Structure 1
Amino acid sequence: MDDDFRELLRTVDHELMAMLRLGRTVSWEIARDVHPNLEPNSYGLLLWLRRRGSTRLTDLAELTGISKGTLSRQVQALEQLGLVDRQPDPSDRRAALLSLSPEGQRRFDAARAARLAPFQQTMASWAREDLAVFARLLSRLNATER
């Protein structure tokens, strides 16, 4: 590894840490926007459910890397807040399918729109190609960091 490569890695590390700090702050803010009693970590579960639709708990655990016990407690809290519904899985009556409730979807979509507004302002001046490269590289990084 040469010095230039090491310096680039340090810069990437610094920028990722700054992004993670911002992400934690934003997660707290968005969680409050969705529901005042929503735990910030649970916002990510809502994001997965919004993206995937009806999902089994075991599949959600695999996607998120959260243990089934922990995930079950988080989902139960989301159900109590009226943000998530649980329905029997028609292909396996022993299992259940989780999905955003209509209220959960409404609240999530409103909070997400508010969250995207600053990104839109910041990135409106970016060339589409730059934005596409940024999105592709973030996806690539996230795919390898699991």
Structure 2
Amino acid sequence: MAAQSQYAELARQLSAIGAVKRDLAKILPAHCPAGSAAVLTLLDRHGEMRMSRLAELLAVDMSVTSRHVAHVAERGWIDRAPDPGDRRSRILRLNPAGRALLEELSERYAATLAGALDDWSDDEVGQLNTMLARLRDSFGDCRARAPHHFEQDGGSEARTPAVPVRPVRPASPVTPATPA
């Protein structure tokens, strides 16, 4: 087991990842803020769903989710259809325009990461992907369940993912980490 000082340093490093995520979010086009990109990413990854499920995956309340959904719907990136099981609800679906935008965003993120990590070897990038995926696996799918409650801080804040990108499915067995 790692020493306490190693866990403290890991906590500092993970906190600093926020700056990296904010820099990556700067490459989003003005018409597609991070919350909108997160909606598109989750619909792409998980398929069609009700807004309540989307709110759960975004880890934000329904009012925030509703604003994000309205934004992407107004721009024609998703379709909203009546839910056959409950006519009061809507099923959200990513449409071809939304998929095209996600492809553009994915290319922007990949180019930005490639530029920032141009002095890293392919093996180092692969190791980082493997370790980040392992870290996420150790915590489980944090967006699919209620937040952890830690004794020291009484809870954790739910935030919209700042770096939503489509997961890349490489040919190798290394699975890259996707945004939290």
Interval of TM-score (by shorter of Structure 1 and Structure 2): 0.7 to 0.9
Say yes or no: does 1:105 pair with 2:99: yes
Matches within 5 A, 1:1-146: 5-29=3-27, 31-32=28-29, 36-117=30-111, 118=113, 122=120, 124-126=122-124, 131-141=129-139, 143=141, 146=147
Q: TM-score, normalization: structure 2?
A: 0.65
Higher RCO by CA contacts (8 Å cutoff, separation 6 or greater): 2
Which structure shows the higher helix fraction?
A: 1
Give secondary structure in 1 for the equivalent of 2:33. Answer: coil
Offset from partner CA, 1:83-121 (integer Å, 9 cap, x none): 222111223222111122211111112211331343596
Offset from partner CA, 1:44-92 (integer Å, 9 cap, x none): 2221111011110011112222111221121101111222221112232
Q: TM-score, normalization: structure 1?
A: 0.78
What percentage of aligned pairs have identical amino acids? Answer: 24
- Unaligned 5+ segments in structure 2 are 148-180
Q: Which moved more, 1:121-130 or 1:92-101?
A: 121-130
Q: Which moved more, 1:51-60 or 1:104-113?
A: 104-113
The amino acid that maps onto 2:139 is L
* Cα distance, 1:12 vs structure 2: 0.7
Q: 1:13 to 1:84 in 2, by over 3 A?
A: same
